Amino acid sequence: MDRLKDKVAVITGANSGIGLASAKRFASEGARVFMTGRRQRELDAAVAEVGHGAIGVQGDVASLVDLDRLFEIVARDAGRIDVLFANAGGGEFAALEDITEEHVERTFATNVKGTLFTVQKALPLLVDGASVILTGSTTASSGAAAFSVYSASKAAIRSFARNWCLDLAPRHIRVNVLVPGATSTPGLHGLSPSEEAGRSFVSAMEAQIPLGRLGSPDETAAAALFLASAESSFVNGSELFADGGQAQI
């Protein structure tokens, strides 16, 4: 259990769901983990759950000031980054006729701007040969009703990986996109306005997945660990789907 022994990993959006599950995996495999989240109380609880000396840094990836503070702390306490998991993101449903400027700005600020500047500001700390993981979405390739703004923001993530693996080629830094399918996380269940609507939503999604169920955060975290580790040393610029086959049919 030492696939990330002595590595330094930074995970954004790590206070719950896939980010938290990945922090647990990385730490159990020997990594020193820095975790971010917007809500201090949830972040503190997540850091305690991860253990292994994990460090929490409260902040919003859409804020460049918060990102600067994050990487100042990483530089001070660790001096480098071996694995960067730019995982923070979010979205909400809005049919075309209901999309507002605020909705677009909020979604793109976190998913696109936040991811871009997370990676850019980490560059001075990333070691040559580091692994950068971006969180994508099945909706970027297959689409979803009333989810076009989120889907477009995640299509941008796919484009980032294709381009950044070229930008960072001289440093042998790998950039890959981890694509979760429907995963049982607080974020997914929070999309529904009521418990009854949530059950219907989950049932509808499960019907579209060949495996017939939602994924668990730990299953996606296992895929993140693969991308973080030397086991994926020749995987670059790619999408790794952990979606139960949903986007493959």
Measuring CA to CA, which residue among 68, 33, 78 is closest to residue 54? 33
What type of residue is 220? Answer: T
Q: Which residue reads 């493959």 in tokens?
A: 248
Whole-Å CA distances, 85 to 27, 98, 197, 206: 13, 32, 32, 27
User: Tokens 């996380």 label which residue?
Assistant: 185
Which residue from 87, 57, 51 is spatially nearest to 74, judged by alpha carbons?
Answer: 57
Active-site residue, 63 included: no
Separation of alpha carbons 176 and 166, rounded Å:
12
First vs last C-alpha separation in the chain: 35
CA angle 82, 107, 102 (to 5 degrees): 150
Which position among 150, 160, 164, 241 bears the catalytic label?
150
d(CA 139, CA 14): 22
Task: Enumerate the active-site residues.
Answer: 150
